Chain A
Amino acid sequence: DSGVTQTPKHLITATGQRVTLRCSPRSGDLSVYWYQQSLDQGLQFLIQYYNGEERAKGNILERFSAQQFPDLHSELNLSSLELGDSALYFCASSVGQDPYEQYFGPGTRLTVT
């Protein structure tokens, strides 16, 4: 167990809705990363937060947003959901700013119907 937790495990929702995914990093880790894994796109980096601040941004849609709270947990908000947003969303954490050694969570499977 890497110590990174994600809730919920599964989420089923309808198009146009908004959902929030939650991630708690390993104890002591200051960075949180979000990834989207879909069948056709593979594992795509979305965004990184380090100690509450946005550190790096990848292929994150404008409909998506994230934040990291003072207790270092992070939330990924997905709005105006489309069928194509159905995917596994992974969170990872690391001690420092660089994703040198990331520890991954189990993922949240989002299904948009």
Chain B
Amino acid sequence: AQRVTQPEKLLSVFKGAPVELKCNYSYSGSPELFWYVQYSRQRLQLLLRHISRESIKGFTADLNKGETSFHLKKPFAQEEDSAMYYCALNNYGQNFVFGPGTRLSVLP
């Protein structure tokens, strides 16, 4: 079955430190993966998708099919990055699977 796991419920880092939010998936095909972010009192919004290989707000994520991972990384965390981050997988017309989420807290 399709599944997305995010092992860390909470991740705290200091401002300026590198951050990596882990995401692993199980899927029996070519996955389409996304990261969504929810800032305090705001709606859930798309942060980035693996097929566009873009960098948004300094974040990047690389799909590693061998390790079935799609970790989100940023070299220097900012306080405004504090939010809830969800990794998600598109099961092509069947459903959209979200991970449980990781709360990132960037400390001053």
CB distance from A111 to the nearest CB of B (A): 19
Within 8 A of A (CB), among B14-51: 32, 43-46, 49
Asked if B45 and A43 sit within 8 Å, CB to CB, the answer is: no
Q: Which residues of A contact B46 (CB under 8 A)?
A: 101-102
- Interface check B108, CB cutoff 8 A: no
Asked if A43 and B98 sit within 8 Å, CB to CB, the answer is: yes
Chain B interfacial residues counted at CB < 8 A: 18
Q: Which residues of B contact A83 (CB under 8 A)?
A: none
Within 8 A of B (CB), among A58-113: 58, 90, 92, 97-107
Pick from B44, B92, B97: contact of A98, CB below 8 A.
Answer: B92
Asked if B44 and A97 sit within 8 Å, CB to CB, the answer is: no
- Interface check A14, CB cutoff 8 A: no
- Interface check B66, CB cutoff 8 A: no
Asked if A2 and B43 sit within 8 Å, CB to CB, the answer is: yes
Pick from B32, B45, B93: contact of A104, CB below 8 A.
Answer: B45
Most chain B CB neighbours (cut-off 10 Å) among A35, A42, A92, A107: A42
Asked if A42 and B92 sit within 8 Å, CB to CB, the answer is: no
Asked if A43 and B93 sit within 8 Å, CB to CB, the answer is: no
Kindly state the separation between the CA atoms of A55 and B20 in the bound complex, as whole angstroms: 35
- Interface check A56, CB cutoff 8 A: yes
Asked if A43 and B86 sit within 8 Å, CB to CB, the answer is: yes
Pick from B32, B90, B95, B101: contact of A58, CB below 8 A.
Answer: B95
Kindly state the separation between the CA atoms of A103 and B36 in the bound complex, as whole angstroms: 11
What residues make up the interface of A, taking CB atoms closer than 8 Å to B?
Answer: 2, 4, 33, 35, 42-45, 48, 55-58, 90, 92, 97-107
What residues make up the interface of B, taking CB atoms closer than 8 Å to A?
Answer: 32, 43-46, 49, 86, 90, 92-101
